[in-house]
Homo-oligomer: A and B are copies of this chain.
Amino acid sequence: MTDHRFLKACRGEPVDVTPVWMMRQAGRYLPQYMEVRRKTDFLGLCKTPELAAEVTVQPVDLLGVDAAILFSDILIPVEAMGMRLVFEAGDGPAFPEPIRSAGDVERLAHFDPTEETAFTLEAIRQTVRALDGRVPLIGFAGAPYTLAAYMVEGRTSKTWMQLKRLMAQEPAVARALFEKIAHVVADYLVAQIEAGCRAVQIFDSWGGELGPDAFERWSLPYVRHVVSEIKSRHPQVPVIYFGTCMSGLLDRLAETGADVIGLDWRIDLGEARDRLGPGVAVQGNMDPAVLLGSKEAITAEVERILAQNAGRPGHVFNLGHGIFPITDPENARHFVAEVHRLSA
């Protein structure tokens, strides 16, 4: 399995066909997922290893993707740090007691992943058994900046004003928070690898809210810490770094130390590769909205993106963000098949 095309592409090695998976591929667009989901709530699904493993494997069986990604949520380790996490129907996740002071940061616990998130590691082991070597399993975590955004704001936001206020007015508190999260995330990802993940993805969903200068100060050093911790212990495991609205940051992204940069759909893949330089692989970057259109439109877009990559090694095909819940699974299946067919 070391030679699976997904891992090869992450390392920039030649592949038979371009590997492809989709962010949120284990999700609501699949009736088979909805069936499992009816047995419990969202957090319950994350925390029940056999159910999490079941939905993680579904897109491999149903769509033929080249990697599975663990069904979980980036806020799971934050809960393990001691913050009360609630998922309100329609409102998304919320922390009713957000971080606002040095004392709040101090109270956050550094936890042992094998204890507090044992369910995650067990889900990984069960998934790996179920996959039986067919494709590698990807683990993941949120980037420190993105987790801090939720922890300080308490919920999703358009402006992340509270976090930005903390950074501007109490930079020492913000730094202490980011450092604490970076240590937790590194340990959590290492534990995922040791439970069986063959690659990990760091989601910096809100890192693109930072300008280049602020990104260098407030996200990059903490991501670099996470990546270097992983690399020092598991140098062979590819690390993927993904964010949105980062087209103005591309020059800086190679500095994360990640093997693969995940791109959203807001830039031509060719332009992004030119600006990232040859030392790094890319993952992306079809707009998930394309999957709402016709099969012909999907095929045309796959062709366009492959043409932009122009045969360069180190391309993992993916969507530029999570698949929409209103997607027809048949279109998702067509997408995966077309990536394989057209890149052969």
Interface residues of A (CB under 8 A from B): 156, 158-159, 161, 164-165, 167-169, 208-214, 244-249, 265-268, 271-272, 285, 287-290, 292-294, 297, 304, 320-321, 324, 326
A287's partner among B214, B266, B285 (CB-CB below 8 A) is: B214
A297 lies within 8 A of B168 (CB): yes
A211 lies within 8 A of B320 (CB): yes
A245 CA / B245 CA spacing, docked (Å): 5
When distances are taken between beta carbons in the complex, the residues of chain B under 8 Å from A165 are 289, 292, 326
When distances are taken between beta carbons in the complex, the residues of chain B under 8 Å from A287 are 164, 210-211, 214
A293 lies within 8 A of B248 (CB): no
A293 lies within 8 A of B168 (CB): yes
Which residue on B lies nearest to A209, using beta carbons?
A: B266
**Shortest Cβ distance from residue A161 to the other chain B in the assembled complex, whole angstroms:** 5
**Shortest Cβ distance from residue A66 to the other chain B in the assembled complex, whole angstroms:** 23
**Shortest Cβ distance from residue A128 to the other chain B in the assembled complex, whole angstroms:** 32
Which residue on B lies nearest to A263, using beta carbons?
A: B248
**Shortest Cβ distance from residue A19 to the other chain B in the assembled complex, whole angstroms:** 21
**Shortest Cβ distance from residue A145 to the other chain B in the assembled complex, whole angstroms:** 13
**Shortest Cβ distance from residue A276 to the other chain B in the assembled complex, whole angstroms:** 13
Which residue on B lies nearest to A297, using beta carbons?
A: B168
Which residue on B lies nearest to A331, using beta carbons?
A: B168
When distances are taken between beta carbons in the complex, the residues of chain B under 8 Å from A169 are 292-293
Given known A248-B266, A248-B271, contact A324–B292 (CB-CB < 8 A): no
When distances are taken between beta carbons in the complex, the residues of chain B under 8 Å from A268 are 211-213, 248
Given known A266-B211, A266-B248, contact A289–B167 (CB-CB < 8 A): yes
B245 lies within 8 A of A266 (CB): yes
When distances are taken between beta carbons in the complex, the residues of chain B under 8 Å from A320 are 211
A265 CA / B245 CA spacing, docked (Å): 11
A159's partner among B209, B297, B324 (CB-CB below 8 A) is: B324
When distances are taken between beta carbons in the complex, the residues of chain B under 8 Å from A324 are 159, 161, 164
A271 CA / B249 CA spacing, docked (Å): 11
Given known A247-B247, A248-B247, A304-B213, contact A168–B267 (CB-CB < 8 A): no
Which residue on B lies nearest to A249, using beta carbons?
A: B266
A321 CA / B159 CA spacing, docked (Å): 10
Chain B CB count within 10 A is highest, among A210, A265, A285, for A265
A249 CA / B168 CA spacing, docked (Å): 30
A221 CA / B248 CA spacing, docked (Å): 24
A249 CA / B268 CA spacing, docked (Å): 9
- Could you name 9 residue pairs across A and B whose Cβ atoms are closer than 8 Å? A159-B324, A165-B292, A210-B266, A212-B266, A245-B245, A247-B267, A248-B268, A248-B272, A249-B267
Not counting A165-B289, A209-B266, A245-B247, a sample of 14 additional A-B residue pairs whose C-beta atoms are within 8 angstroms of each other reads A156-B158, A167-B289, A168-B289, A168-B294, A169-B292, A169-B293, A211-B268, A212-B268, A213-B304, A244-B245, A245-B266, A247-B267, A248-B266, A249-B267
When distances are taken between beta carbons in the complex, the residues of chain B under 8 Å from A265 are 211
A228 CA / B274 CA spacing, docked (Å): 34
